[in-house]
Amino acid sequence: MAPRSNTSDPGGSPFRYPAFPEQVVLTASVSAAAAIQAAVDRFGRIDVLVNNAGNFYAGFFEEITPADFRAQIETTMFGPMNVTRAALPVLRAHRSGLVVTISSTAGLAGGEFLSAYAASKFGVEGWAESLAPEVAPFGIRSMIVEPGFFRTELLTPESTSYAEATIGDYAERTAQTVAGWKGMNGLQGGDPAKLADALIQLAELDEPPPRFAVGADAVGAFEARGKALQVQADAHRELSSNVAHTDA
């Protein structure tokens, strides 16, 4: 959450907001709880929580250090969990609210150079999907958002760390892949402002979708994943189905 220095509302009348923490350490539950409390102090309640923190540890699995792999999981999986855990008591007290978790098409299908990032996104999707029925009885809704490529800061040097190339077998593909990712930075097709507008529209619905593909590339990824799973289910259907005890 960014700090606010405003001391007046848009109409110009004097009104001092309680200050948000200048920096929220999402991997620390104490920091997440402080940020939630600051939001409640300012607004009195929370209606929509958006889990949108992101970074990218990219590289082939053998070359990503265990520390960097863990750091990816800490930010993009445990970060949303920490913030949501802090927010749920507030949402339950009001018996309403919406938890929006920004995932990725990498949470639907993995790919080379994405092992750490996809692992975190697959994990966050499983968590968010399981959380939804747990909190639904309290009037709390949940929505997983899977964007395609959007022109955000995710591919900037500040947000992306590339694993050091240490294994000759991967060297050529590493060079090609890093060049491709860097060349894409700033040229992604998705407009973050339009994504935000779409989320506002969905948040105002009585029943937001449990999953939302955003971007034509994301819709394509949804369709491809659905078809691939159906093909895999059909490929060995008889063998898959004949594994029960004979007395069952």
Catalytic residue among 104, 115, 120, 121: 121
What phi-psi label fits residue 113: left (phi over 0), alpha (psi between -120 and 50 degrees) or beta?
A: left
| CB-based contact 219:225 (threshold 8 Å) | no
Burial category of 146 from C-beta neighbours within 10 Å (exposed 0-12, middle 13-18, buried 19 and up): buried
| CB-based contact 45:39 (threshold 8 Å) | no
| CB-based contact 25:82 (threshold 8 Å) | no
Read off the amino acid at residue 171. Answer: A
Catalytic residue among 57, 103, 104, 142: 103
Catalytic residue among 104, 115, 117, 142: 117
| CB-based contact 146:108 (threshold 8 Å) | yes
Q: How far is CA 145 from CA 71, 84, 182, 196, 222, in A?
A: 22, 15, 24, 11, 12
Please report the beta strands in 52-170, taking only residues with DSSP state E, as ranges in sequence order: 56-58, 97-102, 140-147, 160-162
Residue with tokens 């029960």: 244
Burial category of 21 from C-beta neighbours within 10 Å (exposed 0-12, middle 13-18, buried 19 and up): middle
What phi-psi label fits residue 21: left (phi over 0), alpha (psi between -120 and 50 degrees) or beta?
A: beta
Judge whether 104 counts as a catalytic residue: no
Judge whether 103 counts as a catalytic residue: yes
Judge whether 162 counts as a catalytic residue: no
Could you list the active site residues? 103, 117, 121
